[in-house]
Structure 1
Amino acid sequence: MTKQMDPKLLEAIARNYKHTFTSLARRKKGILEQRDPSSNTTLHLAARFGHVELVAEIVRLCPDLLLSENDRQETPLHEACRQGNDEVVDLLFETNPVAATKLNNENQSPFLLACRNGHLTVVKLMLRESWLMEFEEDRVDSTPLHVAISGGHINVINQLLQVRPHFARKSNKKGLSPLHYASSRGHLETTKLLFSHDSDLALQYDSDGHTPLHLAVINGYMTMLEAFLSSAPTAFGYLTRDGETVFHLAIRFEKYNAFVFLARFFNFTNLLRQPDGFGNTILHLAVLRENYQTVKYIIDTTIVDINHQNHKGYTALDILEHARIDAENEQLKALLQRAGAKYSIELSPLMPEIKQIHPPMLTHGNPGDIVEEKELTVFHPSLDSRRVEPKDSILSIEPSVDLATSSISQNSRGHFLRNQIASYLPQSWKERMVLPTPWHQKRHLSRSCGHLPDLISTTEEGQRNDLHEHQNGEKSIVQEKCESPKQDKLRNLWQLKCASERRRKELSKLHRIRQHKQYEMHSEAALNARNTIVLVAILIATVTFSAGINPPGSVYQEGHLKGKSLAGKTKAFKIFMISNYIALFTSLGIVVALVSIIPFKRKQLMRLILITHKLMWVSLSFTATAFISGTWVVVPQGRNGGWMVEVLLAISAGSLGILFIYLGVAMSRHQLRKLRYRDNKKERVADIAAIQGKNRSQSSIFDNRRSENQSYQMSQSTNSDVDSSTSLGYHAY
């Protein structure tokens, strides 16, 4: 195919000379199939210039050009949508709607180009086609709403949300929703429009574990933060994948104005003091960033614990100690020390041997710093929710042995036992907490805080080696020292208690998993039973309806009784009709009830199944009665019939009777087991509550919390049908 178009033809298209174009098309055969150097056909060019009459003429002469593609794999409809000529778009779309589904080499449809360029009339025209919008919703890269937000076309965005509101919750291949796009670009009007549509859009996470609010904080858009405060305040309690709050993000990406703005609103909430997934508070990050202005604001204005220790046991002063030495760091150190900051080693009064073996790993507050504050629920993308502990809460764990004769002070015992809690942490946290040198620990902390400058210069390489050798020497000295027998006994008892507690948690978790699987199987079985009852009821209704229309014994073929049953006056036929009617309308009632009522709770579903199941028994019984009475009508009796009717009646009635008796006994036994299970459960809950009240004053906080958790778990609503029949594996209803 030629890549050179006739100049006269090109001029006729550009100047909209319809007469010249028509004469050229008639004189030169195949001229309409010529293309320019970019492989554009005559229809591409006519659609680009917006000549409606010329486009109609080309479509009439050569309709195959509608699906022709140029070098960018674009059809003439792509050109028309890019230019925004609604008349040309309407003409091309009506001629061949398939062209609207074609994608160019950038995976863009014609409708996507119209949204990207903000052509509202074209967007309205194509939004009327529901099948086309379903095609656009199935896109995995970007929806039309994404591209409209990228261009800031507020009118197109509003029209898309009105006609296709599902676009607002669609994410692209990077997991970004339309609100993520608007928040990351600072489009305030678009954000408000999305909030007016659905404020819960602010709670969506992208593939990086960020909500739209997180992106607004990272970019420091103050007006966006005000919009989130007024329309979606709950979004501020959602954490990143690493457990970072909006304050961590503001400091990490050095958005000081955004940090100050947020601190004014949340100063007296626990969100400001919430540590990240590595235990770092906002003060840790500000010191690590060596941001004097932010550190001074945190110390002077906020209520953050200045001596908070992260999961590595480091305070803010410890982090500053490992940074490079310069004038700014000296100012930070002086500022922290004036505010009362201490090293982590100063916070533990234990003997040096214990401190070297068990470095502090948990956060503990100052009992004197009691601040009246509001509680704020925070959410993590990998967790449901968690409640932040108030500042004055101190973890106190004591072993269940008498420490009155111990030479260690009460505060020393408390710090020593806090160190043992590390055995409860996940293995990945333990590995992060036992790094060989403070320099390695610092590198790990910097990873949790994003990309940071190298804190150790090349001139300090020898200092790191000396520090590593010194720490190895201390470790060998500690291994040679012996602890007192009482300390050994205390440690052994505590380790046994920790191992027992871990084993108890593992068994409890395994039990919950098995119980959850049983509950899922029971729920699925209940739904299957519901569907089976509907199917059986429909089958009974079909059979009884056919039997009622075609009664046994045939009908009169002539006379005034034509069409009436021949055996209509017999007693057996009357029993047949009564039983058939009852079975028919009972089964119809079952179908209507199960189709009309949709329970979404387990107890209501089981109650509905129980009622309809008993009605199905009634319907089956009367169906069997109708069948027996119908056969009584048609089977000959007396000497000719012999004993056949009596035998069949005995077999059918006996089999159904035995089955109903067995099911009734099984259901009665299940109800008795269920009642006994509930009584035993109430007794266990009462016993745990009594033990908890008796030992409340003398047990530790840890034991109290464990008893409360056990009492709560025992008092939770359970599936008594499943739990009371675990040994059998089934139950009747």
Structure 2
Amino acid sequence: MDRRLQESVTRGDVQALRELNHLNENLMKQSALGSHSHNNNTILHLAAMLGHVDYAAEVVAAWPEMAAAENAELETPLHQASRQGHLEIVKLLLDTDPRVAYKLNSRNESVFFAACQAGRLLVAKHLAESFPALLLLEFDTELTSLHVAASSGYTEIVKEIVNRRPDLAWRKSPQGWTPLHLACSKGHLEITRELVKLDSDLCLIQDGEGRTPLHCAAIKGRINIIDEILSLSLELFEATTKNGETVLHLAVRNNQYEVVKYLTESLNMTKLLNMQENDGNTVLHLATAGKLTAMVIYLLKIGIEVNCLNGKGYTALDVVESDASNSGALAIVPALLEAGAKRCDQLSPGMRDIQQLVESSSRRFSEVSHRKALPWPNTTPQHHRTRCKNRHRASKLELQNEGLRNARKTVTIVAVLIATVTFAAGINPPGGFSQGNGKALRGDRAAFKVFMVCNIAALFLSVGVVNVLVSIIPITRRTMMKLMSATHKVMWLSTLFMTAAYIAAIWTIMPEDKGARWVSVELLVFGGGCSSVVFSGLAWLLVRHWYNKYKWRKAKLNRIKEESPHSSVSRVDELRMTRRNHDSSTNSDVDSSDHGYHLY
């Protein structure tokens, strides 16, 4: 397009257009073809887009065929004028060539659709009144003009369309969404009222995933929409998706706390609390899986059943403990335990059988064809309890392994620090050096000799621990336990020697007058006393742990001996098992994790 011509249409300068046309009539022909524009827009497209009425009138007066010109997207100037809401230009173009009203662009969108999508009420009303057949063109499009108007919140346009084509309210998008689905999801209350006033059965239509307009409102947290729909009939909340999810399931899954609170308190829908979807999950399972702390605490507060089993046989406590490393689990697990939650392996067989009956009846709203098969449909209850117990034990093992790895790093760091401190103290002894011979000034005192012995012992014990830990990388948990047990005891000795060296060093440099004796007493009381208390306490805990392990092994050995003589386990295998249990403390160590700590 010629630059002068483009500048004239941008300014809406009719006189400049006439002068250019008088100088060179071919400019207008080139413009009609749009051959020099990257999107093939003619000057009439630009004038319609910018709203220059007089300029557009001048163009169509000279070249009326330009009213039907199409750009690269097959849009006419009428599309541009309708989208921008320039009613006068719309009337001008329709008067010039009424046939352009029925032209569709490359996306099969009519000029009426463009006006509705942009919210141009006056243009939409004029088109609907003057060309009512325009609404009949929307028979093979993914979205209708009512879809886009309802989604964008253009209430008056929705009323205009519903009055003329009420059947469009039932049209679905490729995803199965009706205009009511979109209005509820976006929270447009007035449009929702207009559509349900047309036909309340629109609330029952489900999309491709089985979600009703009420479900869409719950997912987005539109409480005003939920209240409006349920005011028609409270039975609408019983609708479930293809996966068997209720409105409460969807609200919890999408962390809509206020919606859950509204449904359970204002509308008293507590009977939905323990309902299960096709996978057997209650809303508590979903909340714990999502680590929704506030949601879990609220559900527990209103009295939800905490020990329901889902389709995999897991309780809510099992679900949250499967990812206990997540920070959200720190507050959820104590809340569940306080409410009486149990793991699947802690439930009695009778209780499990009863729950299975309750679960099957609570899924009465779900289609059987959409149910998913359980992972272990043919296993016995005993086998399932064993699997739950093993899974829980594996979780404990993982936690203990993580603790051992952290302990190994800690011991290495502490050993390096002790080696550094004792090395510095060894080359800079208490009391200093003699300037004459370089010998320690207090070297003849007994306290100094005690200091040197203890300091040397602490240094080389720590260096030995560091060398062992950086040289040996244990692969198995049993090897890690043995390594940590040995190095940890050596670290005890090293810290004891370092403490004794410090006490001896202070004793060496203390003056011998009577006024300083109270400092010596304080040194012995706090230095020796505190160390004695700490190590005595740790020793008592360690002895108690060893005693508990001894009782555990003895009880297990008795259970083995009480087994049937017809057992397939031979006497040799029994002795090997006993010896292995005696040599390894793996299982007893795991059992001790219930105390919240572990000694090695």
Distance in 1, Cα, partners of 2:72 & 2:386: 57
What do the CA deviations read for 1:578-624 (whole angstroms, capped 9, x no partner)? xxxxxxxxxxxxxxxxxxxxxxxxxxxxxxxxxxxxxxxxxxxxxxx
- CA-CA distance at 1:325 after TM superposition: 5.1
- In the alignment, which residue of structure 2 is the partner of 1:135? 137
Shift of 1:157: 1.8
Match of 1:270 in 2: 271
Compared CA separation, residues 328 and 66, structure 1 to 2 (3 A): closer
**What corresponds to 1:189 in structure 2?**
190
TM-score scaled to structure 2, two decimals? Answer: 0.56
Deviation (angstroms), 1:207: 2.0
Q: Which aligned pairs between 1:227-238 and structure 2 lie closer than 5 A? A: 227-231=228-232, 233-238=234-239
Q: Is the 8 A contact 1:308 1:365 kept in 2?
A: no
What's the counterpart of residue 148 of structure 2?
A: 147
Task: Give the match for residue 113 of structure 1.
Answer: 114
Give the root-mean-square deviation of aligned CA atoms.
Answer: 4.2
Distance 2:134 2:371 in 1: 52
Select which of 24, 27, 30 maps to 1:31.
27
Determine if contact 1:309/1:361 at 8 Å carries over to the other structure.
no
Amino acid at match of 1:29: E
Checking the alignment, whether the CA contact within 8 Å between 1:237 and 1:376 is kept in structure 2 is no
Distance 1:335 1:84, change over 3 A: closer
Give the letter for the 2:305 counterpart. D
**C-alpha distance in structure 2 between counterparts of 1:457 and 1:295, whole Å:** 24
- Structure with greater helix percent: 2
CA contact (8 A) 1:322 1:439 kept: no
- Give yes or no for the alignment of 1:217 onto 2:210: no
The 5 Å alignment of 1:509-520 reads: none
1: CA distance, partners of 2:94 / 2:400: 67
- Name the residue aligned to 1:429: 373
1:275 CA displacement = 0.8
- 1:461 & 1:167 partners in 2: Cα distance? 63
Q: What does the per-residue CA deviation read over 1:334-390, in whole Å, with 9 as the maximum and x for residues that have no partner? A: 43333333333443347xxxx9xxx86952469xxxxxxxx999855x57xxxxxxx
Q: TM-score, length-normalised on structure 1? A: 0.47
Q: Secondary structure at the match of 2:373?
A: helix
Q: 3-state SS of the aligned residue for 1:270?
A: helix
- The code of the aligned residue for 2:154 comes to H
Is 2:81–2:90's contact at 8 Å kept on the other side of the alignment? yes
Cα distance change of structure 1 residues 213 and 268 upon mapping to structure 2, 3 Å threshold: closer
1:24: how far off? 4.9
Say whether residues 1:363 and 2:362 are aligned partners: no
2:337 matched residue in structure 1: 337
Q: The residue matched to 2:279 in structure 1 has which SS? A: coil
Q: 1:146 to 1:462 in 2, by over 3 A?
A: farther
Q: What is the CA–CA distance in structure 2 between the aligned matches of 1:223 and 1:427, rounded to whole Å? A: 32
Residue pair 1:140, 1:173 contacting (<8 A) in 2 also: no
Opposite residue 194 of structure 2, the aligned amino acid is L
Question: How far off its partner does 1:176 sit?
Answer: 1.6
After superposition, the Cα gap between the structure-2 partners of 1:250 and 1:27, relative to the gap in structure 1 and judged at 3 Å, is same
Aligned in 2, Cα 1:310/1:46: closer, same or farther, shift over 3 Å? closer
Structure 1's 162 and 431: CA in aligned 2 closer, same or farther, altered over 3 A?
Answer: same
Specify the alignment match of 1:15 in structure 2. Answer: 12
The residue number in structure 1 matching 2:323 is 323
Contact 1:239 1:246 in 2 (8 A): yes
Query: In 2 relative to 1, CA 461–107 (structure 1 residues): closer, same or farther, beyond 3 Å?
Result: farther
Deviations 1:443-498 (A, max 9, x none): xxxxxxxxxxxxx99977999x99xxxxxxxxxx99x989xxxxxxxxxxxxxxxx
Distance 1:290 1:234 in 2: 31
Residue type of the alignment partner of 2:59: I
Question: What does 1:27-106 align with in structure 2 at a 5 Å threshold?
Answer: 28-35=24-31, 37-38=37-38, 39-52=40-53, 54-106=55-107
Provide the C-alpha distance between the structure 2 equivalents of 1:171 and 1:119, rounded to a whole number of angstroms: 23
- C-alpha separation in 2, matches of 1:70 and 1:181: 31
CA 1:54 to 1:335, structure 2 compared with 1: closer, same or farther past 3 Å? closer
Gaps of 5+ in 1: 367-374, 384-424, 443-455, 467-476, 483-733
Structure 2 residue 255 is matched with structure 1 residue 254? yes
Per-residue deviation at 1:134?
Answer: 0.6
**Structure 1 residues 173, 462: closer, same or farther in 2, change over 3 A?**
farther
CA distance in 2, matches of 1:461, 1:61: 87
Sort the Cα spacing of 1:109 and 1:462 in 2 relative to 1 into closer, same or farther, 3 A. farther
- Taking the aligned partners of 1:308 and 1:233, their CA distance within structure 2 comes to 26
> Quick check: 1:202–1:232 contact (8 Å CA) kept in 2?
no
State the Cα distance separating 1:111 from its structure 2 match.
1.5
1:276-295 aligned within 5 A: 276-295=277-296
C-alpha contact 1:145 1:178 (8 A) present in aligned 2: yes
The Cα of 1:432 is off from its aligned counterpart by 5.8
Paired residues of 2:10 and 2:46 also in contact (CA < 8 A): yes
Pairwise CA distance, 1:131: 2.1
Q: CA deviation at 1:255?
A: 1.4
**Which AA in structure 2 matches 1:338?**
E
Distance 1:171 1:461 in 2: 56
Report the equivalent of 2:594. Answer: none
- In the alignment, which residue of structure 1 is the partner of 2:443? none
Separation of aligned partners in 2, 1:11 and 1:197? 49
Work out the percentage of aligned pairs sharing the same amino acid: 34
Change (3 A) 1:481 1:209: farther
2:137 maps to a residue whose letter is F
Partner of 1:612: none
CA drift at 1:114: 0.9
- Trace 1:547-626 onto structure 2 (pairs within 5 A): none
